[in-house]
Amino acid sequence: MRQPREMVGRTVRMPELAGLVLRNARLMLVNAGFRDHQIRVRYEEAYRPEDEVIRQLPQPGALVATHESVELVVSRRSLLHHLPQVFQKSDRGGRHFLREFLWVFDHVFADLQRTIDGVHRYFDPLEAPPAFLDWLAGWVALTIDQDWPEAKQRRLIQQAIGIYGYRGTVRGLKLFLSIFTDVEPRVLENQWPYRGFRVGEVRVGLDSIVLPPVNLAHCFMVEVPAAFSDASDEMILKIHDIIRMERPAHTAYYLTFAAAPQKDALEPFLVGLGRVGIGESGVVAGTSGAPADSDDED
């Protein structure tokens, strides 16, 4: 029976890592195609900045398969320096058992120490890991929607305190909506799209609608400068949620989108379908193929 052929990883040229910080060296190797578990780190005490790569194996420029392991020798100050001076002396042969023994604990706790050193990143909404965004939002009493894109969640958490200062105002509503929609909406205060039923000014079924009494002093319209066809149902529902959350409780609002461009072409007048003087359907125009003028007979 024919044995399946073993899959061989692609071959890459080993980048130059000496002089880089360990975090950047790991990132370069991952981008080159290596897995994180293939990167082995060995600490060594040297007169170099801490966490700087001293040597690497394989050497720079070598062709290496991505399934092979990579070893990085990194500069680090030994835990031996935290002990009294009497324990820091080596034996007559220049060997130091206690220093080599403490390297074991350096390798075990190095990642934990590195996380503690970078703990300030967890309090920055632009640098915190995605899993901590919900926890970070709780610090500013903000409930974020998990369906929002990560970039918008970070931006909203970053500006939450500033938004609270303008909550219930036009500026606050526009700022919140612009973060979500990526466009700045128009907020028209004391306006309503329907004027109500008035004799001689409105037409039943065309521009009048039966609604409860509306006080224009407590109304506003939100116009999103985007086509309605470009917005999904989920996006429209989220916009409504944002407006309800940010508007004053006693106000009523109306959400609208940018109107589609109207046709400039004039349609011919058809008996039974057009109404003279109403809209554009009653425009009198010549039909194709018909003569525009006729000569009078003698």
Residue pLDDT, tens place only, 270-293: 455 444 444 444 333 333 444 444
CA angle, 141 then 147 then 148, to 5°: 70
- Could you tell me the two tokens for 104? 């074991």
DSSP H helices, the chain, are 22-32, 97-117, 133-139, 150-158, 160-165, 170-181, 233-246
User: Tens digit of pLDDT for each residue in 167-209?
Assistant: 888 888 888 888 888 888 888 888 887 765 555 555 665 655 5
Banded pLDDT at 89 (limits 50, 70, 90): confident
| Residue 103 pLDDT | 79
What whole-number distance in Å separates Cα of residue 95 and Cα of residue 88? Answer: 11
| 161: helix, strand or coil | helix
User: Tens digit of pLDDT for each residue in 226-270?
Assistant: 777 777 788 888 888 888 888 888 888 888 888 655 554 445 444
Banded pLDDT at 79 (limits 50, 70, 90): confident
User: Tens digit of pLDDT for each residue in 98-137?
Assistant: 777 887 887 778 777 777 877 888 888 888 888 888 888 8
Question: What sign results for the dihedral spanned by CA atoms 177, 178, 181, 185?
Answer: positive
| Residue 39 pLDDT | 86
Q: Answer for the pair 53, 70: CB distance below 8 angstroms, yes or no.
A: no
| 153: helix, strand or coil | helix
| Residue 205 pLDDT | 59
Burial of 88 (0-12, 13-18, 19+ CB in 10 A): middle
| 85: helix, strand or coil | helix
Mean per-residue pLDDT for 214-230?
Answer: 82
| Residue 290 pLDDT | 42
Buried b vs exposed e over 32-44: b needs ≥16 C-beta within 10 Å?
eebeeeebebebe
Q: Answer for the pair 34, 65: CB distance below 8 angstroms, yes or no.
A: no
What whole-number distance in Å separates Cα of residue 257 and Cα of residue 234? Answer: 15
Banded pLDDT at 217 (limits 50, 70, 90): confident
| Residue 289 pLDDT | 41
Q: Which CATH fold would you assign to the domain 11-120?
A: Trypsin Inhibitor V; Chain A (3.30.10)
What whole-number distance in Å separates Cα of residue 83 and Cα of residue 171? Answer: 60
Domain boundaries, given as residue ranges, for the chain: 11-120
What whole-number distance in Å separates Cα of residue 282 and Cα of residue 271? Answer: 9
| Residue 269 pLDDT | 44
